[in-house]
């Protein structure tokens, strides 16, 4: 490597030119590279929806969901299948294994299998329909509101806006929520129809026969082909009213005399939306994958003035969620932390090394950052909090390389004033040790990148940036740093030639303690490992969770009414809550809220899966001025729901970065029988209730609901000239509305539905009065004359996991972590007597945390083996590599003490800190052992070599530790909750671990290398 240094120095103009190009390229990448709030992860779920109106949940499960699950199970890439069966609808969600990233062919296979299955499903089934955009994130959501406008006007304006926005560059898709489709309602009076001897089926048949668009053929006349176009479709509402309907006994009557024909909207409302308590339509914009969100924001903002100008007077367009601002804020905050850390590191380095040497070493930091930015562009790594924080984590290691190189050159200059010789020989002697130490650190971080789960995907960029930073730093340290030392390092002072062992009070103090430790070597080693064992015991008292919460100034509210509640009732209750949230006097911190009724709305946050579309539920998103104010607002909202919404259950949650809500403990019960599952569910609920303070207790099967079964007596129905089909069609037309045809108005196609007037659909007693005209008897027959009405209690929803019926019970405790709460529940859960064929298991954060950590450590043995191989390659012995590896457990002592002292959680980012610590301590050990071996190569005894090397290497090790610890203070104090635990682990673990290493490595080395007789 000496030739590289010589070339760098001798071709100084080219060196300066390349450095300027590097800086310009790095700055250019910083402003042009794609930006994100957090790394993208692949949502490996799709959604299959199948409908059969009126079919009860158990029959939906048996006739529709089970065949679909069996077909999906044949797709080898699918790992899990979740499903839910509700009245008239089934939703099946297949999830692909974490090892797969190219999902397009898998979803194509899913579509093909659903197409093949569709003909075998019961006649009348709608679907199955595949939604493979389930993981698409809406980066911008807008609310269209206005007083005095009809749903039709809202729909027209929203579609006009969608057509404009979807053509904006980088906008992939615009989804609409809260649209209320139009309907043409034909509402009849059942009593009047029966009086003239007519059934609703006759109306349905006549309308279907008359409103048609069919070809009439063609005529060849005089060599010309003339197309025949018969009329028959409805063009106006009067055309519908004027349809002649034949009556029994002869004659006709116009439809308008039998029915009220009116134009209206879907009833009940379909997934309505409220923004600040007002009816709204939401537009959700998603972005083209791997695009620059800042550029998308510029494109959207360019067209927004024109869109707003086209809005009718009184209609408003408001921003609900604007991710470009959140991304800019997150990146700006992380960048500010980076600059603060760099500034602190430079100050510390200059304090220890002097201003000139400190600047030389410090210059390597921004240059390395430029290398990292260029490498990120080539590796398609976006700029986000994780990639920027990775640079901060690596700063200590980057400084270490520069310090070691600069100090070695200084030492050589003190022996020989030949600058070129000092620079080239330092680079030649340190290139391999520094490369080995960098590669060992890379291997320490590699398990994060190799983890085959979403956590590994989320943190892959961290490992990529660390690789770029370490290798870039290594190259700069063997080329640019020696050149800078050649050009700018001051000449050694008079009288310092040949002085190698440092002097000073601190060195004398360290030497005295080290020699005392060498006299009690076994005792020191035993004491250190006893401290490690003690930290493992103390680890049981550390609070644990999978991931920290997101620090967005948003929280969500899940509102549930009893199963079976109508959408209109859910909307009424959600409206009361939305009005409370919108009250600026009672909630001045809230800047806006949106409520999605019977719908989860768009996926506006990557980790958040929208709730299930249940008619009895609403999902609200609340924006707050500042994240610090959220806890108080959430408590106020919880109190309001408990006091003012007794008919509903509601809970607030912050946004979370993991797969499950933070602190929530889920218990899953699987088994074949619905009744037995419900009994077991009650037992599990009682176990939860026995823990004081548990909140948000719920079952995902909700409460059973009452339904009425119409058991047709086939013999009596046949005598009356009725069939099960005609009875079902009449009941459907009387109660819900029966689709009979379509009304075409330009590009709009509006369904025509026949139903009875409102008074016939409000009570169960009205069901007994439904009558059917019998041609055979010449009179009307009531429903009880041909059928029995039987009330049954059945599940409102049946959920399945991997083709087994599964009930999930969930709750959290405000003062307990999920692990603590699960430990409190475990004795009661273990006491439940499970029948054969039933199982009970934890789920949610408890399992996710264990699985994430398992995946992280899955490849740890492989990486440790690689580290060991590199160390054996460097030292050409087994003892020294084993000594280096034995320093890794030392990181636990300070880490555990720090987590306990600063009340931090052991979570995923803290685990990152553990990996980072391992790399730093391995580096420190390598540097010290390498120096010991150099001393011994000069013929010095083991004890003298150990003491001399320790004194020479203590300063760079202390500087590295100090710069890392002090440099992380801004991240710990200002970086937010995501980085708090990681910063604490690195700062405390490194401080204590370095102190122990300064004694453990010399002492253990002397034990492994006993003095030999001459």
Say what the pLDDT of residue 273 is.
93
Burial of 428 by CB count in 10 Å (0-12 exposed, 13-18 middle, 19+ buried)? middle
301: nearest Cα among 136, 158, 142, 138: 142
Q: How many domains does the chain have?
A: 5
Give yes or no for residue 274 having a pLDDT over 90. yes
Three-state secondary-structure class, residue 90:
strand
Say what the pLDDT of residue 143 is.
93
User: Among all chains, which residue has been given the structure tokens 């906008």?
Assistant: 171
Give yes or no for residue 851 having a pLDDT over 80. no
Q: How confident is the model at residue 232 (pLDDT cuts 50, 70, 90)?
A: low
Say what the pLDDT of residue 793 is.
84
Question: Which phi-psi region, left, alpha or beta, contains residue 38 (left: φ > 0; alpha: ψ -120 to 50)?
Answer: beta
Are both 730 and 651 inside the same structural domain?
A: no
Spell out the residues 6+ positions from residue 522 whose beta carbon is closer than 8 angstroms to its own.
Answer: 1007
Say what the pLDDT of residue 495 is.
47
Residue 368 lies in a domain: yes
Residue 404 lies in a domain: yes
Are both 487 and 508 inside the same structural domain?
A: no
Say what the pLDDT of residue 640 is.
93
Residue 285 host element (H or E): strand 278-287
Q: How far apart are CA 940 and CA 932, in angstroms?
A: 9
Give yes or no for residue 770 having a pLDDT over 80. no
- 350 vs 220, more confident: 350
Spell out the residues 6+ positions from residue 353 whose beta carbon is closer than 8 angstroms to its own.
Answer: 361, 403, 406, 407, 959
Give yes or no for residue 505 having a pLDDT over 90. no
Structure tokens at 103: 């999902």
Say what the pLDDT of residue 281 is.
93
Give yes or no for residue 235 having a pLDDT over 90. no
Q: How confident is the model at residue 501 (pLDDT cuts 50, 70, 90)?
A: low
Give yes or no for residue 500 having a pLDDT over 60. no
The 3-state secondary structure of 847-892, one letter per residue? HHHHHHHHHHHHCHHHHHHHHHHHHHHHHCCCHHHHHHHCCHHHHH
* Contact by Cβ (8 Å): 756, 186: no
* Contact by Cβ (8 Å): 808, 667: yes
Q: Once rounded to an integer, what is the mean pLDDT over residues 338-360?
A: 82
Residue 47 host element (H or E): strand 47-51
661: nearest Cα among 588, 624, 611, 625: 611
pLDDT tens per residue across span 369-391: 999 999 988 888 888 878 887 88
Say what the pLDDT of residue 157 is.
92
The CATH code of the domain that includes 599 is 3.30.70.1430
Three-state secondary-structure class, residue 730:
helix
Say what the pLDDT of residue 773 is.
64
Q: How far apart are CA 970 and CA 388, in angstroms?
A: 14
Helices 2-10, 480-488: axis angle to 10 degrees equals 60
* Contact by Cβ (8 Å): 277, 582: yes
Say what the pLDDT of residue 316 is.
92
Say what the pLDDT of residue 62 is.
93
Give yes or no for residue 253 having a pLDDT over 70. yes
Are both 997 and 905 inside the same structural domain?
A: yes
Q: How far apart are CA 380 and CA 8, in angstroms?
A: 30
392: nearest Cα among 477, 328, 456, 335: 335
Are both 428 and 363 inside the same structural domain?
A: yes
DSSP 313-350: TTEEEEEEEEHHHHHHHHHHHHHHHHHHHHHHHHHHHH
Q: Once rounded to an integer, what is the mean pLDDT over residues 214-232?
A: 58
Structure tokens at 234: 């409805």
pLDDT tens per residue across span 29-39: 888 888 887 78
DSSP 558-609: EEEPPTT--HHHHHHHHHHHHHHHH-TTT-TTEEEEEEEETS-----STTPP
Q: Once rounded to an integer, what is the mean pLDDT over residues 138-159?
A: 91
77: nearest Cα among 43, 116, 42, 107: 107
Q: How far apart are CA 117 and CA 111, in angstroms?
A: 10
Between 90-94, 522-526, 728-732, 756-760, the lowest mean confidence (pLDDT) is in 756-760
Q: How far apart are CA 656 and CA 638, in angstroms?
A: 19
Residue ranges of alpha helices (H) inside 383-453 are 385-415, 419-450
Are both 636 and 741 inside the same structural domain?
A: no
Say what the pLDDT of residue 1 is.
59
- Give how far the C-alpha of residue 429 lies from the chain's centroid of Cα atoms, to the nearest Å: 47
787: nearest Cα among 800, 798, 772: 772
* Contact by Cβ (8 Å): 472, 375: yes
Give yes or no for residue 180 having a pLDDT over 80. yes
Give yes or no for residue 1014 having a pLDDT over 80. no
Are both 883 and 943 inside the same structural domain?
A: yes
- 499 vs 809, more confident: 809
Among 75, 106, 134, the domain-final residue is 134
Residue 307 lies in a domain: no
Residue 809 lies in a domain: no
Say what the pLDDT of residue 327 is.
83
Q: How far apart are CA 104 and CA 677, in angstroms?
A: 37
Give yes or no for residue 261 having a pLDDT over 70. yes
Say what the pLDDT of residue 233 is.
66
pTM of the model as a whole: 0.83
Are both 383 and 477 inside the same structural domain?
A: yes
Quick count: other Cβ atoms within 10 Å of Cβ 757? 15
Q: Once rounded to an integer, what is the mean pLDDT over residues 891-916?
A: 87
Are both 449 and 514 inside the same structural domain?
A: no
Say what the pLDDT of residue 302 is.
92
Burial of 842 by CB count in 10 Å (0-12 exposed, 13-18 middle, 19+ buried)? middle
Distance between start and end Cα atoms, the chain: 36
Provide the sign of the torsion angle of the four alpha carbons 255, 257, 262, 268, taken in this order: negative
* Contact by Cβ (8 Å): 595, 526: no
Partnered with residue 756 across adjacent β-strands are: 188
Give yes or no for residue 218 having a pLDDT over 60. no
Q: How far apart are CA 774 and CA 719, in angstroms?
A: 9
Give yes or no for residue 220 having a pLDDT over 70. no
* Contact by Cβ (8 Å): 322, 196: no
Say what the pLDDT of residue 593 is.
93
Q: How far apart are CA 170 and CA 746, in angstroms?
A: 31
- 853 vs 463, more confident: 463
- 895 vs 783, more confident: 895
Q: How far apart are CA 592 and CA 186, in angstroms?
A: 40
Highest mean pLDDT among 510-514, 720-724, 905-909: 510-514
Between 580-584, 647-651, 702-706, the lowest mean confidence (pLDDT) is in 702-706
Are both 61 and 109 inside the same structural domain?
A: yes
Q: What is the DSSP letter of 664?
A: E
User: Among all chains, which residue has been given the structure tokens 């890439």?
Assistant: 77
Q: Once rounded to an integer, what is the mean pLDDT over residues 523-542?
A: 91
- Give how far the C-alpha of residue 337 lies from the chain's centroid of Cα atoms, to the nearest Å: 24
Residue 338 lies in a domain: no
Say what the pLDDT of residue 1011 is.
74
For the chain, give the percent of residues with pLDDT over 70.
93
Q: How far apart are CA 941 and CA 791, in angstroms?
A: 95
Q: Cα torsion for 903, 908, 909, 914, to the nearest 10°?
A: 90
Say what the pLDDT of residue 39 is.
81
Spell out the residues 6+ positions from residue 349 whose beta carbon is closer than 8 angstroms to its own.
Answer: 358, 361, 362, 399, 403, 959, 963
Residue 903 lies in a domain: yes
Spell out the residues 6+ positions from residue 922 whose beta carbon is closer than 8 angstroms to its own.
Answer: 437, 440, 441, 444, 867, 884, 885, 887, 888
Say what the pLDDT of residue 969 is.
84
Give yes or no for residue 489 having a pLDDT over 90. no
What Å distances lie between residue 952 and 421, 945, 957, CA to CA?
A: 21, 10, 10
Strand-strand pairing, 182-188 and 748-756: parallel
Q: What is the DSSP letter of 100?
A: -
Residue 771 lies in a domain: yes
Three-state secondary-structure class, residue 783:
helix
For the chain, give the percent of residues with pLDDT over 90.
29
The CATH code of the domain that includes 473 is 1.20.1640.10
Between 342-351, 653-662, 865-874, the lowest mean confidence (pLDDT) is in 653-662
- 505 vs 825, more confident: 825
Q: How confident is the model at residue 63 (pLDDT cuts 50, 70, 90)?
A: very high
Structure tokens at 149: 């406008």
Quick count: other Cβ atoms within 10 Å of Cβ 692? 7
Say what the pLDDT of residue 894 is.
92
Between 519-528, 632-641, 743-752, 986-995, the lowest mean confidence (pLDDT) is in 743-752
Residues spanned by the domain of 63? 44-134
Residue 908 host element (H or E): helix 908-937
DSSP 484-505: HHHHHPPPPPTT-TT--S--SH
211: nearest Cα among 694, 721, 645, 744: 744
* Contact by Cβ (8 Å): 575, 567: no
Three-state secondary-structure class, residue 267:
coil
Say what the pLDDT of residue 659 is.
63
Q: Once rounded to an integer, what is the mean pLDDT over residues 817-833?
A: 88
Are both 421 and 516 inside the same structural domain?
A: no
- Give how far the C-alpha of residue 949 lies from the chain's centroid of Cα atoms, to the nearest Å: 49
Say what the pLDDT of residue 110 is.
93
80: nearest Cα among 800, 958, 685, 918: 800
Give yes or no for residue 533 having a pLDDT over 80. yes
Say what the pLDDT of residue 36 is.
80
Q: What is the DSSP letter of 629?
A: G
Q: Once rounded to an integer, what is the mean pLDDT over residues 782-797?
A: 83
Question: What share of residues in the chain are helix, strand, coil (percent, to 5)?
Answer: 55, 20, 25
Among 119, 134, 149, the domain-final residue is 134
Residue 532 lies in a domain: yes
Q: Once rounded to an integer, what is the mean pLDDT over residues 868-894?
A: 89
- 450 vs 195, more confident: 450
Three-state secondary-structure class, residue 789:
strand
Between 188-202, 334-348, 716-730, the lowest mean confidence (pLDDT) is in 188-202
Are both 1003 and 895 inside the same structural domain?
A: yes
Structure tokens at 177: 């929520």
Q: How far apart are CA 11 and CA 4, in angstroms?
A: 10
pLDDT tens per residue across span 924-975: 888 888 888 888 888 888 888 899 888 888 888 888 888 888 878 887 887 7
Are both 51 and 125 inside the same structural domain?
A: yes
pLDDT tens per residue across span 312-321: 998 999 999 9
The CATH code of the domain that includes 247 is 3.30.2090.10
Say what the pLDDT of residue 496 is.
47
Say what the pLDDT of residue 440 is.
87
User: Among all chains, which residue has been given the structure tokens 């800190």?
Assistant: 913
Among 743, 768, 795, the domain-final residue is 795
């Amino acid at each position: 490597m000496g030739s590289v240094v010589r070339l760098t120095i001798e071709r100084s103009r080219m060196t300066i030119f390349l450095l300027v190009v590097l800086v310009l390229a790095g700055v250019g990448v910083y402003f042009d590279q794609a930006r994100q709030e957090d790394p993208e992860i692949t949502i490996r779920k799709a959604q299959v929806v199948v409908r059969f109106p009126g079919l009860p949940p158990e029959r939906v499960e048996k006739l529709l969901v089970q065949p679909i699950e069996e077909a999906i199970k044949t797709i080898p890439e699918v790992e899990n299948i979740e499903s839910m069966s509700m009245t008239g609808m089934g939703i099946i969600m297949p999830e692909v294994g974490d090892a797969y990233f190219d999902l397009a062919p898998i979803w194509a296979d899913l579509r093909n299998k659903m197409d093949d299955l569709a003909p075998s499903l019961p006649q009348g089934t709608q679907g199955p329909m595949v939604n493979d955009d389930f993981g698409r994130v809406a980066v911008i959501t807008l609310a269209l509101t206005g007083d005095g406008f009809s749903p039709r006007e809202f729909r027209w304006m929203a579609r006009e806006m969608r057509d404009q926005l979807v053509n904006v560059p980088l906008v992939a898709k615009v989804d609409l929520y809260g649209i209320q489709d139009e309907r043409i309602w034909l509402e009849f009076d059942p009593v009047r129809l029966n009086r003239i001897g007519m059934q609703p089926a006759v109306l349905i048949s006549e309308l279907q026969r008359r409103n048609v668009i069919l070809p009439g053929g063609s005529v060849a006349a005089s060599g010309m082909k003339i197309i025949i176009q018969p009329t028959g479709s409805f063009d106006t509402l009067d055309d519908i009213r004027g349809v002649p309907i034949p009556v029994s006994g002869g004659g006709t009557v116009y439809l308008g005399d039998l029915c009220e024909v009116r134009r209206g909207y879907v009833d009940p409302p379909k997934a309505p939306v409220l923004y600040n308590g007002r009816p709204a339509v939401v537009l959700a914009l998603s972005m083209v994958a791997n695009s620059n969100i800042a550029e998308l924001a510029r494109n959207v903002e360019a067209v927004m003035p024109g869109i707003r100008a086209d809005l009718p007077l009184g209609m408003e367009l408001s921003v609900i969620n604007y991710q470009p601002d959140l991304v800019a804020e997150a990146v700006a905050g992380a960048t500010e932390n980076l600059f603060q850390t760099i500034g602190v590191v430079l100050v510390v380095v200059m304090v220890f090394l002097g201003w000139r040497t400190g600047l030389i070493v410090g210059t390597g930091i921004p240059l390395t950052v430029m290398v990292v930015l260029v490498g990120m562009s080539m590796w398609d790594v976006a700029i986000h909090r994780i990639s920027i924080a990775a640079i901060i984590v690596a700063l200590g290691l980057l400084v270490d390389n520069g310090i070691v190189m600069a100090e070695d050159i200084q030492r050589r200059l003190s022996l020989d004033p030949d600058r070129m010789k000092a620079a080239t020989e330092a680079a030649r002697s340190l290139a391999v040790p520094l490369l080995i130490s960098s590669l060992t650190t890379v291997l320490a971080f590699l398990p994060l990148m190799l983890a085959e789960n979403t956590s590994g995907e989320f943190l892959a960029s961290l490992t990529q940036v660390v690789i770029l930073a370490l290798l870039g730093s290594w190259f700069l340290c063997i080329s640019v740093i020696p050149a800078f030392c050649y050009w700018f390092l001051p000449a050694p002072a008079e009288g310092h030639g040949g002085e190698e062992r440092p002097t000073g009070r601190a060195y004398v103090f360290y030497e005295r303690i080290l020699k005392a430790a060498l006299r009690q070597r076994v005792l020191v080693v035993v004491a250190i490992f006893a401290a490690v064992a003690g930290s493992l015991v103390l680890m049981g008292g550390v609070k644990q969770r999978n991931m920290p919460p997101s620090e967005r100034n948003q929280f969500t509210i899940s509102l549930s009414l009893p199963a079976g509640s109508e959408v209109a009732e859910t909307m009424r209750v959600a409206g009361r809550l939305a009005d409370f949230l919108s009250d600026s006097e009672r909630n001045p911190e809230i800047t806006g809220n949106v409520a999605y009724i019977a719908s989860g709305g768009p996926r506006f946050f990557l980790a958040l899966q929208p709730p299930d579309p249940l008619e009895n539920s609403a999902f609200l998103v609340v924006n707050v001025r500042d994240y610090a104010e959220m806890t108080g607002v959430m408590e106020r909202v919880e109190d309001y729901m408990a006091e003012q919404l007794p008919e509903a259950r509601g809970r607030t949650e912050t946004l979370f970065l993991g797969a499950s809500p933070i602190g929530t403990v889920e218990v899953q019960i699987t088994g074949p029988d619905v009744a037995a599952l419900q009994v077991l569910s009650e037992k599990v609920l009682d176990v939860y209730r026995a823990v004081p303070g548990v909140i948000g207790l719920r079952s995902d099967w909700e409460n059973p609901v009452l339904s009425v079964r119409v058991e047709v007596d086939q013999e009596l129905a046949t005598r009356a000239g009725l069939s099960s089909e005609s009875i079902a069609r009449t009941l459907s037309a009387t109660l819900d509305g029966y689709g009979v045809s379509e009304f075409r108005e330009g590009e709009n196609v509006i369904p025509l539905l026949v139903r009875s007037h409102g008074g016939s659909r409000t009570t169960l007693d009205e069901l007994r009065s439904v009558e059917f005209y019998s041609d055979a008897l010449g009179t009307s027959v009531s429903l009880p004359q041909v059928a029995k009405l039987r009330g049954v209690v059945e599940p409102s929803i049946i959920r399945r996991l991997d083709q087994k019926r599964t009930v999930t019970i969930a709750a959290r405790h405000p003062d307990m972590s999920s692990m603590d709460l699960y430990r409190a529940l475990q004795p009661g859960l273990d006491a439940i007597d499970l029948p054969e064929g039933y199982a009970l298991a934890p789920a949610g954060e408890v399992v996710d945390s264990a699985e994430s950590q398992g995946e992280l450590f899955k490849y740890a043995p492989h990486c440790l083996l690689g580290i060991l191989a590199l160390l054996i390659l460097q030292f050409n012995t087994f003892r020294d590599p084993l000594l280096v590896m034995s320093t890794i457990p030392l990181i636990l002592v300070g880490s555990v003490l720090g987590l306990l002292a600063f009340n931090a959680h052991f979570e995923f980012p803290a685990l990152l800190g553990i990996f980072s610590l391992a790399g730093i301590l391995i580096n420190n050990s390598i540097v010290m052992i390498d120096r010991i071996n150099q001393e011994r190569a000069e013929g010095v005894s083991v004890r003298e070599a150990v003491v001399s090397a320790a004194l020479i290497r203590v300063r760079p090790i202390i500087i590295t530790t100090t710069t890392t610890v002090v440099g992380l203070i801004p991240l710990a104090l200002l970086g937010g909750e995501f980085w708090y635990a990681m910063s604490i682990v690195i700062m405390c673990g490194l401080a204590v671990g370095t102190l122990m290493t300064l004694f453990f490595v010399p002492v253990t080395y002397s034990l492994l290398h006993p003095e030999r007789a001459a």
